[in-house]
A and B are shown apart, each in its own frame.
Chain A
C-alpha cells in the first residue's frame, strides 16, 4: 500500500486506466504483444487456417465450395501423375537452379570481396541493376535471346551452322530461373565472405593445406551461413514460381506454380480445395527440406 501511495504521490494526475495498467503486469504484456500478434494472426495464421479448411472441403459444381470433410484432394495429389510429376519437376528445377546459382554465385561473390574497395561497390551495384527492371520484361528479354530468330541463333547462323531450338524448353526455363535468382545467392555469400578473415587461408596454407583443402576445411565451413541463406532464398521461390516456366517453357510443361495458378484462377470451374491441398503439401515438403538442409550444413555452435 505504501508503494501505491508513493506512486500516486509522484504522479498525482495519473488516471484510472494508467493505475490499472501499473498494477496488472499481464495486461501490460498483453497490450505490448497485441500489435505483433494481431499482425501474425490476421495475415499469417488465419489465412493458413482457411487454406487448411479449404483443402479438406469438396469442390462442388461451378467451383462452389461444399463444407464436407474429405481426403479426396490429397488422394488426387499423391496419385494423379499430372500433380506428382509437377511436384518432382518443380523440386528438381529448384535443386538445379540452386546448385547452378551456387557454382556461379560463390566465385562471383569471392571475386567481388577480393576486389579493391572502390570496385567492390561498382560490382555489387552491377549485380543489383537487373532488379530495377520489371521481372516480366527481363524474362521476355530471354525469350528474344533464346528464340529461333534470337541473338544466339543469329550468331550461330552467321557462322553457317544450323539453328538450335533453344526455346521453348525446360533448359530455357532453367536459364531464366538461374538468371532471376543469382543475386539472391550472391548477396548472402558476399555478406559471409566479407566477414571472413582471409588470414585464415594463409594460416591453412602455412600448415600444409593446398588451396582446395584450405577452401574445403576453412573457407567453406566458415561461409556456410551465407551459402545456406542463399540456397533457401533461391530454392523456395524457384519451386513455387510460375511466370518463368509459363514464358520460357512455352506453357507446355507444368510446374507446381502453374498448376496452382490454374486451379485457383484459370480453370473453369476453379478448384480451390485442390489448390489449397496442393499449397499445404508444398509448404510441408519445403519446411521438411529446409530443416534437413540447415541441420546438414550449419554445424551446431555450442
Chain B
C-alpha cells in the first residue's frame, strides 16, 4: 500500500465559548495506519475526532482528507465513518437494516446492498443475527454491529471514539485483538480515541498523546513508552519514578549525570540537548531498575544501598518500594522462578543494592 497521508491536521484550533478544547493540533495520519489518540478525559481527543468526522468545525486551521480540505463539509458529505462510544445503533431497525443504512443513503442498488450487508455481517460474525433488533444483542455484539455499519461503506478513514469502554475487561481484551486483525484485513485507516494506555499500546501503529488540547508526542508505542518527551507522557503511559535535579555533567553518548535535590548523583539518557546546571527530571520505570543482594561490581552506575519498605506480591511480579534518599522508589521484579521459598522474595526491612544502567533512565527537560 502506498504511504499517502489519509488525514492531515494543520494547526487546528477549536474554541467553545471561552474554552480552548483543541489548541494548535497538527498531525498526519498515514493511509492504512492504526492511529490512536490517547489522553485523559477532557484533553480534546474526542473534539479532534469530531472535527475529522464533521460534527464540529475548527475555529481555525485546516483538516485535509486525502489532500482535500474539508473545513466545513457536513458529515454526510465526508467519506468518513464513526463508531460511537454508545454505538448509536438505530433501535427501530434490525441489525441488517442498521448495516444497510449508509448504503441506502448513498442510493446503492438493492442487490449490491444485500450482498455487501451480508459480507459485512459475515466479517463481524453476526450473520445469524441479521433479523434481530439491537437491544436483543449483547454489548459485544452491538459493538460489532456498529463496526459493520461503518465499515460496509468502505470509508477513507474509520473513526472510533472509545468504542470498547462499555465492555467488561475480558471482552475488551478480546475485542482489542479482533479490532487490530480486522483493521489489518480491511486495510482501512483507523483513528482510535481512547484514555486507556494499554489499549493504545496493544493496537496502534502510532499514538498521539494529548493533554489540555495540545499534542505532546506522536510516535510508535515503543517510542512513546521508551522515549517519552515530557513528564506528562512518561507519567500517563505506564508507571515511572521521577527524580528531580540539576544537570552536573554531560557525558558521551547523551548520558547525563545529575545531582538530585536530596544529594544523589544519578545518570540517565537524554534525547534532547541539555545544558549544565539546568533543572531536569530523571524518569526511571519500575521494571528497568534492579535490586541485588550482593554489592554490584564497582563502577556500576546509579548504585545505592537501600532498605526495602514495602513488598506486594501480585503473581507475575513483585512490586517493591525501597527508600532512596528522601523518597520511596518503586521497582518491579519478575517472579521468573516458581517457588514457595520465602527467601526467594524480598521482605520489608531487608537491605539491598538498587542500580540501573544509565540508558534505562530518561532525562526530561519539560
Q: Which residues of A contact B (CB under 8 A)?
A: 197, 199-200, 202-210, 213, 217-218, 221-222, 299
Contacts and interface: CB of A to CB of B under 8 A. Distances in A.
B51 to A, nearest CB: 13
B96 to A, nearest CB: 14
Nearest to B77: A208
Contacts of A202: 53, 55, 75, 82, 84, 88
B92 A206 contact: no
Contacts of A217: 101
B149 interface: yes
B36 interface: no
B50 to A, nearest CB: 9
Contact of A222 (B55, B92, B153): B92
Contact of A208 (B88, B89, B90, B153): B153
Contacts of B91: 222
B90 A210 contact: no
Nearest to B99: A207
A299 B90 CA distance: 14
Contact of B76 (A200, A205, A218, A221): A205
Contacts of B150: 206-207
Contacts, number: 60
A203 B1 CA distance: 30
B105 A209 contact: yes
Nearest to A199: B88
Interface residues of B, number: 23
A206 B81 contact: yes
B365 interface: no
Nearest to A218: B90
B90 A203 contact: yes
Closest A-B pairs by Cβ, 4 of them: A207-B102, A208-B105, A203-B88, A205-B75
A210 B80 CA distance: 15
Contact of A207 (B55, B74, B92, B101): B101
B86 interface: yes
A200 B88 CA distance: 5
Nearest to A202: B55
A19 B86 CA distance: 56
B106 interface: yes
A209 B92 contact: no
Nearest to B88: A203
The interface residues of chain A, by DSSP majority, are classed as helix
B57 to A, nearest CB: 13
A213 B102 CA distance: 12
Given A206-B80, A206-B81, 10 more contacts: A200-B90, A203-B89, A207-B81, A207-B102, A207-B149, A208-B102, A208-B106, A209-B76, A222-B90, A222-B92
A65 to B, nearest CB: 53
B105 A203 contact: no
A206 B87 CA distance: 12
Contacts of B81: 206-207
A221 B92 contact: yes
Contacts of A213: 105
Q: Which of B90, B102, B150, B153 has the most CB of A within 10 A?
A: B90
B105 A206 contact: no
A201 to B, nearest CB: 9
Nearest to A210: B76
21 contacts: A197-B86, A199-B84, A199-B86, A199-B88, A202-B55, A202-B84, A202-B88, A203-B82, A203-B88, A204-B105, A206-B53, A206-B55, A206-B75, A206-B81, A207-B76, A207-B81, A207-B149, A207-B153, A208-B102, A208-B153, A222-B91
A262 to B, nearest CB: 47
Contacts of B86: 197, 199
B74 A205 contact: yes
A205 B81 CA distance: 10
A205 B88 CA distance: 12
